[in-house]
Structure 1
Amino acid sequence: MGASSSPYARFISAWEFKLASSDPNRRPHPFAFGWTWFSELLPGQVGVHDLHQAIRAIVRGSQDWFSAPLPTDYRLEGQRLTFTSPVRTPWPENNVVHADYYPSRRARGRAVLLIPQWNADERSHQNLALLLSLLGITTLRMSPAYHDRRRPRGHVRADLHVSANIGLTLHATRQSVIDARCCLHWLAQQGYRRLGILGTSLGSCIAFLTAAHEPLLRAGAYNHVSHWFGDVVWTGLATQHVRRSLEGYVSQQQLRYWWAPISPATYISRFAGRSFRSLFIWARHDPVFLPEYSREFLEACREHKLDFEAVALPCGHYTLGRFPFNWADALLVSRFFLRAL
């Protein structure tokens, strides 16, 4: 009997499905190419052939695509940092970036930007941020685009960040990366020079894309890793409602290509030869970031000779946030940043 059908694996799988089914608000939305979201690269109405050209252009010019002028209205009130996102959207709530600041008196120039998972509420990862600050690492927890305090009125989930709208998903992820870079520059303005980034699930993807394009960073830790954004959406338990909207319009292979600009696989080579340390934490029983995709990603990192550590935890996707796995993860992440920064 293989490990995948062991009693322990079945226990974790049942726990995963129970946690996943606790959200009753996953509903399919109509498929759309989202042509208007490509307006920064292609004016007017375009066709699928032009979409392929747009994807190639984005990847070639990714440093510019993931860049924007820094905000001029950073405002810290108590623990809350706010500023206007350089990327504008039709939703006023989403155009204001919110981040929670956990300063440490013993930081000695060390700070970490923390980006939580898809559909995280504003309480998510607060304990981890507090732990890092108590250990001597200032932490700034950023809400990604369309999440918690940035969620547009009438929306109960952050479905505008990951959806069956090809262009909107690209645009939302780009916005989160640019907002993350703005947060890092604010930390640098406060005197922090030993900067790291930490992300979970969707936040892991955002963190990796940010690290690939932000020279201020020295280290990154990533909870859940995968090669291609499209593969996770197509095969993952959390996004089966999105897949149902995509089927009949695109294949998994097409989706992988169209979302290549927001896929870690596209930018692994940018770390080759760079003084940058990474920690990749993946789960052996993950029904969202499938283990085969995590292994594929790690093999690509080895091929490009990245400086990294990889740890596989005996849990799933949602169970990583439950005891005892969340404690193990916090220990791994804390020890990593204390060494790497």
Structure 2
Amino acid sequence: MNEDSPALVTGASGFVGSHIARLLTARGRKVRVLLRKTSSQAALRGLPVEIVYGDVLDRASMRAAMQGCATVFHSVVDPRFWLTDQSPIYRNNVDGLVNAMDAALACGIERFVFTSTMGTLGLNPDGPVTEDIPFNWLDRAPPYIRARLEAENRFFEYCRVKGLPGVALCVANTYGPQDYQPTPHNGQLWQIAQGKAKIALDVAQPTVDIRDVAQAALAAEICGRTGERYIIANEFIGARAFHALAIAGRGQVPPVLISYRTAYAIAWGVEQAMKLLQRKDYVVSRDAVYLSNVFGEMDNGKARRELGWQPRPVSETVRDAVNWFAAREREAR
């Protein structure tokens, strides 16, 4: 791998992309980032990166951004599962990836690291999920998951048929510091840490530190096998234990937990009300509740063995995330 050539990070204004760019620069790599002109640059402030303006839906700008690069870290993710019109989800997650892969092949990219999602993995009621379990819940998957699945299927097709030198990372729910948006999961964590979240779902989730996602991406560049995917998930933790970590030492009261069935019934009622009111793009939905509880424990053994990946404990992740949000809030006063 030619580390003297720039590495391109797409989606670099987002949580995953910005942390990949941050780690690359910390290791002395030349970094180019692809941003829309409307994208916030808060997460990249102070980093020695070359900014190229463009869009994954603009094929010409993708080729221009990749010229002279050796590696592409494709981290464009449109997570807006709540959109009533799901066509932007498909365009950004599927068409954008196809454009990036076509540009990578045209530009002779040596390695293409794709940020995928645990949502493309098959479910396993009898134990931990592995990369080998085929997708087996299409009948229940909401449009957002279907779009991410289509994107990953296209990715593997390009690796198999067109020779794309690609590696995919199936990433769990991300937490950690330097989340300038913030993302929904991290935002809820900070609400809980402040005692502002009064009610929460009694579910469990696979988690991963955002810094460990970046570590995995750089390891995949060197050690990942072409055409393979790796589960990038760490500890599977229930709501009660997770909330206890969030409020540790802060003197706050944890939120009251409501059952999955209760939340699902509430979401159904909200959906009916929104339809009557002709409202669109509402976050509370049955799909959102379903996705909060569908993923079980995940086996990250393949990433540990082949990438040398060693994720940190979730307690450290939560502590650092809460401390970062608290410090940022103090600075804003």
TM-score by shorter chain over 0.5: no
TM-score for both structures, normalised by structure 2:
0.33
